[in-house]
Homo-oligomer: A and B are copies of this chain.
């Protein structure tokens, strides 16, 4: 029986042109984050299934690729449910593995620990255009830093990287989970309804303020509370003035430290930034992951419809592993979306075009061929990319194809001239 030529459903093969862009991006990301003192680390792609199903990953936990037990541990006859069959799963993000890694290794790591991770994650999502079941994530995280030095550094490092990639005129939208909570309390919604209200608020971009009102009404919330709640999101112009207005409105419901810290982050980043972007305070920013406890942020790039990465503070996750909380904050870049955008815009990797091809007549005897290889070796030592290949009958067509691959220079070798 013939084997299967297609990749598995929803997963992507990466051809040379895309790979060139990916390698270039990874290089910039790695170099820039390192210049900020982030330390590259790697964890296994597989994690204990109990860690992955510990209710930290929200909806992603439904999308885990699970790995069958092996050998004696696998017993089909006594297995009553899925749980009996699997012991590991492919990670759905890099945050849970990072926190496990930190919990296991903190004695051997600098404190605070600034981690850089670039690695694949897997989610058994319904396949759709531009969304794959295996994709690369690029995360930076700071563990052990309670102050907003962490947020400021993460935002500066991420935006510097985006600037080096060539993005301009983008926004970092910022909010605070505690501010979201204070708004819910101020409006008179119960504490328990926090998640439900936030899920509806998260649709503001798509359905507008009237849509949010309508959905809240449908969910049975009181009209007076709803009016009070949605009024908070009027005049949402992204400024510090609006933050001040909301802070004043929420007096008695909001810890003053929250708005002070947000203001400091926004002012510091605006003062220090070198890339071309704007800090935007967005009280309606929610971010899905359940583990966030404080600041949350998101990248909005005009060329994209939606978000192109984000992050936030998750001060409670280390405690789930060690029993002792450690402050933690992270920022993730939407690597695959950036690759897609560069591919679609016909991006050319700087310096990738300077390649040379030797076309060698097919009849070249072995000893003369060795001389040609020696010449190629010398040119390569000088840093040039040299392809040695056989000359085809249709040389013109062959050269056109090589040009499409980035070869700009050709040298021909004929047997009778050697």
Contacts and interface: CB of A to CB of B under 8 A. Distances in A.
A140 to B, nearest CB: 13
Interface string A364-381: 001101100110010011
Nearest to A50: B4
Contacts of A47: 7-8
Interface in A31-52: 34-37, 39-48, 50-51
Nearest to A100: B5
A19 B45 contact: no
Contacts of A320: 2-3
Nearest to A119: B120
Contact of A46 (B8, B44, B101, B380): B8
A386 interface: yes
A88 interface: yes
A418 interface: no
A88 B10 CA distance: 13
B388 A11 contact: no
Contact of A321 (B5, B79, B103): B5
A416 interface: no
A387 to B, nearest CB: 3
Contacts of A54: 3
Contacts of A74: 82
A46 B90 CA distance: 10
A353 interface: no
B388 A153 contact: yes
Contacts of A82: 68, 74, 76
Nearest to A272: B373
B37 A386 contact: yes
A401 B110 contact: yes
Between A8, A105, A377, the greatest number of chain B beta carbons within 10 A of the residue's beta carbon is seen for A8
Interface stretch (A184-192, A210-218, A227-235, A263-271): A263-271
B5 A20 contact: no
A393 interface: no
22 contacts: A2-B320, A3-B51, A5-B104, A5-B321, A5-B322, A8-B87, A13-B43, A13-B44, A14-B43, A19-B41, A35-B385, A35-B386, A37-B357, A37-B385, A37-B388, A44-B134, A45-B122, A76-B81, A76-B85, A112-B389, A268-B367, A272-B377
Q: Which 6 A-B pairs have the closest CB atoms?
A: A37-B387, A11-B44, A16-B39, A14-B42, A19-B40, A35-B380
Interface of A: 2-8, 11-16, 19-20, 22-23, 30, 34-37, 39-48, 50-51, 54, 65-68, 70, 74, 76, 79, 81-82, 85-88, 90, 100-101, 103-105, 108-110, 112, 114, 120, 122, 124, 134, 149, 152-153, 156, 160, 264, 267-268, 271-272, 274, 320-323, 355, 357, 366-367, 369-370, 373-374, 377, 380-381, 383-390, 401-402, 405
